[in-house]
Structures are given as C-alpha cells and as structure tokens.
C-alpha cells in the first residue's frame, strides 16, 4: 500500500486494484512535473473511492464531482452534511453517511463518526486493516483565545467524540489527524489524547499548512505511545506501508 500526502487534509491511499482519496482541496505536482490527480490518479484504470468529510472549501472542492465524467469507475462517499451543497446535484453516484451509519462492498467497510466541527470523520476497513481520517475532528480548545469555561466546553465535546470512537475501535493501522499550530502552545493536545485512548500503528498529520516542523514535533510523543509517526516534509510525499 502507498500513502501520499497531497495537501492540507488530502491523502491518497493506493491499494492493489483500487485507490482512496480523502478531502481533496487542490492538486499538487509530482516530482516528474505531472499533477498527482489530473495527470496520474484519474488516468489509472483501477476503481477510485472519493471521500469527503465535510463541505468546508478546504476539504470539499466541487471539482471532484466532475471526476466521474472523466472516469466511470468512481464511487463517492460523503458525510451527510455535504448533501446540502448546491454543487451536489450534478453528480448522483454518491453515498451519504450520517454519524454511525455504514457502507460496505467487496473491497471495504466504512463507518462514519462525528466531528467537533462541521460534518464527520471516517473509519475505513480494508482486509482487516483500519484507517481513520478525522476530517476536522480535533480538540479545538482555543485556550489562549477564549474564556476558560468556553475552552473546557470545546474540549469536552472532543473527548465525548473520542470516547465514542474508542467504544467502536480498539486498534487502528493508520490515523490521519489534524495537528494545527494555530491552536497555540497546546496545539498537539488533541492528537496526544487520541493516541493515548486508541492504539495506533501509524500516524499522519493534517491541517498544518506549511508548518512541517511543528507538525513533525508530534513524533516524539507518538513514539512514547508505541505509535510510528510518519514525518511529512513536502506536498506529494509518499510512504510505502
């Protein structure tokens, strides 16, 4: 399996016979000068699953709805919240999942979970290996910007979502999760709480902009929890797992 960081919260997972892409925002160039999506992914003959956790423009680019016009074997799996986007009417091959709803076919099993922002998050099971894409699920405590009581409320909301996840998941192969330095000195708190609660083999960061160094600082904490942090240094970086 190959995992590629495209940009922001977009990851591409390539398996034998099919691929999965999460939360496409914008295309990026490969080392050979071609683009990852338009020149590579959409030219692959294998099936493609396109996931979208919510309708924020940095997670949902309407361009993905046109991929099905170019490539016939595309299946869309979206959070139910995305259903309200006015662009959706141009595409009909979409499965919408609300929190704790499931989808299954001969390749994968999907369960939707909640978020502490808009939309949701996705657990994807491929041949017994579980992959989690958090979307905007995180401890958005903003404890340097809002009153303590308000910050505690944000954290409690996250911990409730995390507990629900833990009740359904005992082990993850790969987690893709926000590590956003805009949260201030405690910007890694949500990720720390996540790997404390749910055993995770591999961890990839999202939502960190160009702050690669700050995102990769989480590697030290992940190691303490027997979790392998995959350090990201550039757009289009790939990992063989």
What is the tens place of the pLDDT at every residue in 121-166? Answer: 999 999 999 999 999 999 999 999 999 999 999 999 999 999 999 9
| Model pLDDT for residues 24-61, shown as the tens digit of each residue | 999 999 999 999 999 999 999 999 999 999 999 999 99
Question: Is-above-0.95 flag for pTM?
Answer: yes
Mean pLDDT of 233-240: 97
Three-state SS annotation for 4-45: EEEECCEEEEEECCEEEEECCCCCCECCCCCEHHHHHHHHCC
pLDDT at 16 over 60: yes
Interval 160-195: pLDDT, tens: 999 999 999 989 999 999 999 999 999 999 999 999
Q: Among residues 141, 139, 115, 121, which one has the least CA distance to residue 191?
A: 139
pLDDT at 87: 76
Q: Is the pLDDT of residue 91 over 80?
A: no
Would you state the pLDDT for residue 85? 78
Count of other CB atoms within 10 angstroms of residue 143: 19
The residue behind tokens 């595309």 is: 74
Contact between 201 and 182 (Cβ < 8 Å): no
Q: What is the mean pLDDT of the chain?
A: 95
Q: Under DSSP, is residue 118 helix (H, G, I), strand (E, B) or coil?
A: coil
Residues near 81 by beta carbon (within 8 Å), at least 6 away in sequence: 54, 55, 118, 119, 120
Looking only at the bridges linking them, the beta strands covering 18-22 and 10-15 are: antiparallel
Domains of the chain, first to last: 2-240 (3.60.15.10)
Alpha helices by DSSP H, listed for 9-141, are: 67-70
Cα–Cα distance, 216 to 237 (Å, whole number):
14
Instruction: Give the separation between CA 30 and CA 9, rounded to whole angstroms.
Output: 17
Q: Give 197-232 pLDDT, tens digit per residue.
A: 999 999 999 999 999 999 999 999 999 999 999 999
* 16: CB partners within 8 A, 6+ apart: none
Under the banding of pLDDT at 50, 70 and 90, the label for residue 90 is low
H helices, E strands: number in the chain: 5, 14
Length of the chain, in residues: 241
């Amino acid at each position: 399996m190959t995992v590629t960081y495209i940009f922001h919260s977009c990851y591409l997972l390539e398996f034998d016979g099919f691929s999965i892409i999460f939360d496409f925002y914008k295309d990026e160039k490969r080392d050979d000068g071609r683009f990852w999506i338009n020149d590579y992914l959409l030219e692959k003959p294998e099936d493609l699953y396109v996931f979208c956790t919510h309708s924020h423009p940095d997670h949902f680019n309407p361009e993905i709805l046109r991929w099905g016009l170019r490539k016939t074997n595309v299946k869309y799996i979206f959070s139910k919240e995305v259903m309200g986007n006015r662009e959706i009417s141009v595409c009909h091959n979409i499965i919408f999942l609300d929190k704790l709803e499931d989808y299954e076919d001969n390749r994968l099993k999907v369960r939707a979970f909640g978020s502490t922002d808009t939309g949701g998050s996705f657990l994807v099971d491929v041949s017994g290996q579980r992959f989690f894409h958090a979307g905007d699920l995180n401890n958005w405590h903003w404890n340097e910007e809002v009153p303590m009581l308000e910050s505690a409320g944000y954290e409690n909301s996250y911990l409730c979502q995390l507990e629900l996840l833990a009740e359904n998941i005992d082990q993850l192969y790969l987690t893709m999760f926000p590590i956003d330095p805009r949260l201030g000195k405690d910007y890694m708190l949500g990720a720390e709480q996540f790997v404390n609660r749910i055993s995770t083999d591999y961890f990839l960061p999202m939502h960190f902009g160009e702050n690669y160094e700050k995102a990769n600082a989480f590697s030290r904490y992940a190691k303490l929890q027997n979790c392998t942090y995959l350090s990201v240094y550039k757009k289009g970086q790939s990992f063989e797992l």
